Structure 1
Amino acid sequence: MMMILRTLVGVAVFLDTVSAITLGVVHTEGGMVQGKNIRLGYYRHMDIFKGIPFADIPGRFEKPKPHPGWDAILEATEYRQKCYQMSRSMNELSGSEDCLYLNIWVPHGSSVSSDLPVMVWIHGGGFLFGNSVGHVSDSTLYDGQEIADRGNVIVVTLAYRVGTLGFLSTGDSSMPGNYGLWDQQAAIAWVHRNIHSFGGDPDNITIFGESAGGISVNLQAVTPHNKGLIKRAISQSGVALCSWAVNRNPRSVAEEIAFKVNCSTDNNMAACLKMTDPEQLTVAGALNTTGSPDHPVIDSLVLIPVIDGDFLPDEPSNLFDNMADIDYMAGVNDMDGFTSTAHDVPSIMSDQVDTLIEDLKRLLASYTKDKGAAGLNKAYTLYTSTWETTPKMETIKKTVLDIGTDYIFLVPTQASLHHHAAKAITKHTYSYLFSEPNLMAGRIYPSWMGANHFDDVQYVFGRPFTNTTKYLPQHCDLSGYMIAYWTNFAKTGDPNQGGLEVPVTWPKFTSTGQQYLEIHHTMKKGFVKQKMRLRYVHFWTSILPNLPTTHENEELVISPSTSLDDPQTGGPGFTTSWPNGVS
C-alpha cells in the first residue's frame, strides 16, 4: 500500500513539474515579454520577470518618456543596471542613464492567477543611492518571492533616478526637478496599464517603501498625478512631512553643483548642466558625510524633492485631500535615528558624561535653531524631565537617540497620520512602532539597542525564511506576522483581514484614540497602545512652531524650571504643524 501511495505522489509531483502553471509569454504595451517560471511546491509556481522597461532612456533633467517598444520577445530574466549613483560611502561611482526598469513576481496555485492584489515597492537611500534589487547590506534583499508566495500578491520593484540626475532643480521652469518622482509615477502608471496581463488587479495597487522610499510613497499619494492609480499606501520610516522630504531652496544647490562642473550660474546654467557628462554631475552631487551635533548630516540631504508647481503644486501638508480615498499605513522603528544620530554625536559610543550632555544640547540647538534659546530651553527641559539627579550613562545615550528618532522620523510620521485620518473619512489609517532589537545588539551595538533604521525591511521581505544561518525561529515568526499584516492590508485595506492569520488585532488610528501596534516577535494583546510619545509629538508640532522665530545670537541658558504645556494634563491639544515651513 505504501509503495502505491509513493508512486501516486511521485506521479503527481512529476505531472506538476512538467505541466508548470505559468503565464508564458505576456503581452505588454511595449511588446511581448517572457520571464522565468519556478516551482515552489506542490501546485505552487511563480513567474519572475526581471528588467522590464517601463520608460525610455530618460533625457537629462527631463520627465521620463514612454518606451518605444520592441519586436522580438523580450527575455526578462536578468536584472538591469542601477541608475547613476555614488556608493553609500560616496567614494565610488556606478550605474547608467539606461536604468528605468522594473521587476515582477507573480505567484500561482493550481491554476494561473488572475486579479491578484499588487504591491509596488519604492526603495530608499536618501534619494542618493539604491536600486530595485537590493541594498548595500544585502544585494538581493528586495526579492519579492517570499511576500508574493506567502501573501498571494503580485510584487513589483522599480528603479528611479537618484542624486543629481534625479533631483537637481534650479527652482524654475528651466530645470524644475523631481525627475526621480516622475520616474516612480511612470512606473506606477505602467503597472496600472499593464498588470492585468500578469494576473494582477489594476484597481488594487498598494505602494510601499522605506526611508526615502517611504517619503516617496507619501508624495506619490498626495500628488494629483496619481488620482485613481493607487488604492493603498505604506510608509516605513519616512513621510512627506519629514524635515528632509522637501528642499525649499534648490537654487543654491544647483549653483553649487554648476560651480563644481564648470558651468556658469547665469541664465545659461540649466543649458550647461544638461550638456554636462552624467558621471561628472553624479560625482558633483556626492553627499558631504561629515556630521556633527552643530551640523547634523540629515541637513546635508539637499538633492531631494522640491515644490515644483506640478508634481507638488503646494506644500505636502496642503495636499492630503488628494489621498482621502487611499488607505494608509505608516510607522517607524523605535531607534530609527541611531545611524544618523551616532554619526552626528560620536560621543554616544563613549562613556564621557560631560561631553555627551554637551553634545546633546548642541544637537537640540541645531534642531531648534530658528527658535533660539527659548526653543532650546524648552526642548532640553522636556527631554531631561525624566532624568534622575545623576542620570545613568545609558539614560543619556537613549535620550540622544530619542531626540534623533523623534525629529527625523517619529514626529513627522505621527503628523502625517493625523493629516490622513482627518481627510480620509471613509478610508483606514494605521500606525505602528517596530521594536524588534537589532541582530547585532550586545555585539556591535549596545545590549539595550532596539530597532535601527532599515531593520524592518528584512522581515517584510521574508529574509529569515531564506537565510536560516543568520536568523532564529522567532525571526521567522516575526517575518510571517509582518508579511500577513502588510499583504492583508494590500488586499482589503485592513491588516487584520485578508486570508492570513495575525497574532494581534491591529486597531485603526484615529485623531482621538491615536492607537498603534507595537510590532515584535512576542506580540500579544498588550502590544496595542495609544498616543505614541505624545508629549514629544506635541512639543515639536505645536509648542515649538508657536514660539517666536529669532535670528539673534542668544546666550544659551538651560533652565531646569522651564515648564511645558502637557496635553495629557490639560495643555493645548495636538496640532499637525511641523517646523521648516510645513504646517
Structure 2
Amino acid sequence: MLLFIILCCVLAIHASEEGKAVQNPTVRSSSGEFLGIYNVTRRGRSFEAYRGIRYAEPPVKELRFQPPVPILRYEKPVDATKNGPACPQPSSPGYYVDEDCLTINVYSPVKAERKASLPVIFFIHPGGFYSMTGRSDLFAPDYLLDRDVVVVTINYRLATLGFLSTGDSLAPGNNGLKDQVAALQWVQRNIAAFGGDPHLVTIAGCSSGAVSVMLHMISPMSKGLFHRAISLSGSPVRKTRSPTHLYPLAVRQAELVGCPTNSSSDIVNCLRTVPWRDLGLSLNRFYEFGYDPLTLWSPVVEADFGQERFLPVDPIDAIRERKMHPVPFIISRTKDEFFWKAFTVLKNETLLRRMNENWEDIAPISFMLPRDNSSLATQRLRQEYNLVDLKNDSDTAYNLGRLYVDAIESFPIYRLTKLMSIHSTAPVWSCFFTYIGNNSFYQDPATKKPVGSAHHDDLLYLFYIAYRFPKIGSQGTDADMVDRMIDIWYNFARYGDPNNRGDTPELDIHWPATSPTTRPYLQIDKQLSIHENLFDQFAATWEELYPIQYY
C-alpha cells in the first residue's frame, strides 16, 4: 500500500500544472523515440523505465543461427512500457517466451534529477547460457536506482539458438555473446539520451554473465564498449583450455527433435526449420546425471571462416599474453555457491548408488572435469574430499557439497584472479560474499530457512528479484546489506575504485587491490573485513591435477 501511495505521488508530480493527464516519460535519441513509464525505488525515489526495446532484428527464419543484425534506426516511436519476452527456455505456463527476444531495458533517475551524465551499469544475466532473462520480474533496478546510475539489462540468445557450434562456417558459435556486443553498441549510440555517460560503462554479470564479462575483456569485438567490469561467481578460465566447437551438443539437439545427424549441414539446415518451442523445451533432456553437468553450452574459441570472431584465442593465452582490454575489475564469489547440489544426489537413492558405484564415470560429469584420461584425477579428488563411501549423512553432504563448490567455482575463480593479478595493467579487486540473510536461492526444505551463502545470493542485495523474493525494505540487516552492495557498485561505476570517498559511509574499510604476491580480498558479511589469498590452502591439489603456466 505504501509503495502504491508513493507511486501515485510520483505520477502526480509529473502531471502538468493545468491538470492534464499524466504523460509517460519519452526519450529521443539519434536512433528514434522511446516511450517509457515511471516507477519508484525501494526508498521511494522516482525513476524512468524503458523496457522491451529491440536492439537487433528478430533472429528468426533466415537469421536463426546468424550473428545479430543491429537496429540502427526506429522508424516509429517505440512502446517501451512493458517487458519483452524471455528467450526460449523451459518456463511456467503463460510466461512470455519467444524467439524474437533480443531486447534491452534501460532505467534511469527522472530527468529533473539528473544534473550530469551518469555512470552506466550494464548487467548480463546468469543462467548457464541456457536459462533466465533480463526482464524486470527477475532483475529490477529498484535498489541500484537509489543511487545516481543508469541501469541496463538485456536478453541474449540461449542454448542451441545462441551457442550452436559445429566447428565450421555453418555455425562457428558464440552468437549469444555477439548479441551482447550488439547491445553494448546500442548503449554507445543511445544511452546519452537516457542520461547515461557512454564513456563510463561498467559491464557486470553473474555466473554465465560473469564468464561473459571476462570474455568481453579479451574479445576484439568489445574493445572500447566499456570501462569497468564486475564478475560474480563465474570464470572462463577453467581446468583446461576452452573448446573450439560443441559438435556433440549439436548432434544431441538434432536427435532430440528428430533431425538427421549425418553432417553439420544436415544438422543446421534441419534445426533452422524446427519450432523454437521444441528447441527451448528440450533442455532437460541434455542432462546426463540428475541435473548435471551444470554447464552444457559454452563459449568456443572460433576458427577463422571469414566471420567476425568474438573469441579468436583461448582465455588463458589471452590473459597471459596481455591480449585484453585492461579495465578496473572486481572478481567475486559466494562462500557456498553450489553446495546444495550434494543434496540432489544424496536424497535420491538411484543417483547416490550410481555415483558411489560409477565414480570415475560420474565425477567428470558432475564436477565438470576433463573427460579424457580422468581416472587419476577422479580417484585423487575422491580421496582428498573424503568421499570414498558416499552416504546420506551430514559428513558426506558437507564434503560432497565442498567438492561441487571447489570444482565449479572456487578453483576457476582462484585461477582467474591469480592470472589477472599477474597480467592486468589495471587494478583488480577480489571479493568473498559470506552473508546469510532472510532469503536464499537455496533454503532448507524443512525449515524454509537459508543454510548457506548460495550461488546468486549476492544478487538479492543488488536487484529486486520479484518472481521469487519479497522486496527488501529500509530497515534490518538485509537492508544494510543492500546499502553496502549498491554502494560498492556505485563507487566502482563512478571511479573505477570501490572504496568510499566520503559519501558512502557504509563502506567503512579500505579494500586494497590484489597483487601477484599477496592477494587481499574483501569478505562481505554483517561486517566487512580484509583477508588474504582466498582458496590458496586448497589449490595445491587442483594445480597438480590441472597445471597451467601462469607466466
For residues 345-394 of structure 1, what are the alpha-carbon distances to aligned partners after superposition, in whole Å with 9 as ceiling and x for unaligned? 446999x9x99988989865765665555434543444349x9xxx9954
Provide closer, same or farther for how the CA distance between residues 373 and 71 of structure 1 changes in structure 2, counting only shifts above 3 A.
closer
**1:112 equivalenced with 2:114 (yes/no):** yes
Distance in 2, matches of 1:379 and 1:468, equals 41
- In structure 2, the partner of 1:434 is 433
Distance in 1, matches of 2:401 and 2:349, equals 9
**1:305 equivalenced with 2:302 (yes/no):** no
Provide closer, same or farther for how the CA distance between residues 373 and 111 of structure 1 changes in structure 2, counting only shifts above 3 A.
closer
Q: TM-score, normalised by structure 1?
A: 0.78
Provide closer, same or farther for how the CA distance between residues 362 and 399 of structure 1 changes in structure 2, counting only shifts above 3 A.
farther
Question: Which of these two proteins has the greater Rg computed from alpha carbons?
Answer: 1
1:118 positional shift: 0.3
Distance in 1, matches of 2:336 and 2:43, equals 41
Provide closer, same or farther for how the CA distance between residues 434 and 279 of structure 1 changes in structure 2, counting only shifts above 3 A.
same
Question: For 2:293, what is the secondary structure of its paired residue?
Answer: helix
- In structure 1, the partner of 2:258 is 261
1:75 positional shift: 2.7
1:109 positional shift: 7.8
Q: Give the alignment partner of residue 164 of structure 1, picking from 149, 157, 160.
A: 160
Provide closer, same or farther for how the CA distance between residues 513 and 55 of structure 1 changes in structure 2, counting only shifts above 3 A.
same
Asked if 2 retains the 8 angstrom alpha-carbon contact of 1:44 and 1:110, the reply is no
For residues 125-173 of structure 1, what are the alpha-carbon distances to aligned partners after superposition, in whole Å with 9 as ceiling and x for unaligned? 1111111115xxxxx2311132022x21100000011121111111111
- In structure 2, the partner of 1:495 is 498
Q: Give the alignment partner of residue 148 of structure 1, picking from 145, 148, 160.
A: 145
1:276 positional shift: 3.1
**1:508 equivalenced with 2:513 (yes/no):** yes
Question: For 2:123, what is the secondary structure of its paired residue?
Answer: strand
- In structure 2, the partner of 1:28 is 29
Distance in 2, matches of 1:258 and 1:38, equals 44
Q: How does 1:423-462 map to 2 (within 5 A)?
A: 423-425=423-425, 427-437=426-436, 439=439, 444=446, 449-461=451-463
- In structure 1, the partner of 2:4 is none
Question: For 2:538, what is the secondary structure of its paired residue?
Answer: helix
Asked if 2 retains the 8 angstrom alpha-carbon contact of 1:509 and 1:515, the reply is yes
Question: For 2:213, what is the secondary structure of its paired residue?
Answer: helix
- In structure 2, give the amino acid aligned to 1:496: N
Aligned residues: 515
Question: For 2:247, what is the secondary structure of its paired residue?
Answer: helix
Q: TM-score, normalised by structure 2?
A: 0.82
Provide closer, same or farther for how the CA distance between residues 248 and 93 of structure 1 changes in structure 2, counting only shifts above 3 A.
farther
Question: For 1:407, what is the secondary structure of its paired residue?
Answer: helix
For residues 92-112 of structure 1, what are the alpha-carbon distances to aligned partners after superposition, in whole Å with 9 as ceiling and x for unaligned? 996212111111111148543
Asked if 1 retains the 8 angstrom alpha-carbon contact of 2:202 and 2:229, the reply is yes
Q: Give the alignment partner of residue 241 of structure 1, picking from 199, 216, 237.
A: 237
- In structure 1, give the amino acid aligned to 2:516: S
- In structure 2, give the amino acid aligned to 1:334: K
Asked if 2 retains the 8 angstrom alpha-carbon contact of 1:55 and 1:100, the reply is yes
For residues 197-227 of structure 1, what are the alpha-carbon distances to aligned partners after superposition, in whole Å with 9 as ceiling and x for unaligned? 1111111111111111111112222211111
Asked if 1 retains the 8 angstrom alpha-carbon contact of 2:165 and 2:245, the reply is no
Root-mean-square deviation (Å): 3.9
Provide closer, same or farther for how the CA distance between residues 506 and 86 of structure 1 changes in structure 2, counting only shifts above 3 A.
same
Asked if 2 retains the 8 angstrom alpha-carbon contact of 1:347 and 1:356, the reply is no
**1:87 equivalenced with 2:91 (yes/no):** yes
Provide closer, same or farther for how the CA distance between residues 13 and 212 of structure 1 changes in structure 2, counting only shifts above 3 A.
closer
Provide closer, same or farther for how the CA distance between residues 360 and 506 of structure 1 changes in structure 2, counting only shifts above 3 A.
farther
Question: For 1:121, what is the secondary structure of its paired residue?
Answer: strand
1:311 positional shift: 0.8
Structure 2: give runs of 5+ residues left out of the alignment.
1-8, 304-308
Asked if 2 retains the 8 angstrom alpha-carbon contact of 1:328 and 1:420, the reply is no
- In structure 2, the partner of 1:329 is 330
Distance in 1, matches of 2:474 and 2:138, equals 14
Which 4+ runs in 1 deviate beyond 6 A? Answer: 12-15, 19-23, 39-43, 91-94, 347-350, 354-363, 445-448, 469-472
Distance in 2, matches of 1:147 and 1:213, equals 18
Q: Give the alignment partner of residue 188 of structure 1, picking from 173, 176, 184.
A: 184
- In structure 1, give the amino acid aligned to 2:504: L
Distance in 2, matches of 1:256 and 1:376, equals 26
Asked if 1 retains the 8 angstrom alpha-carbon contact of 2:172 and 2:245, the reply is no
Structure 1: give runs of 5+ residues left out of the alignment.
1-11, 135-139, 547-574, 578-582
Q: Percent identity?
A: 26
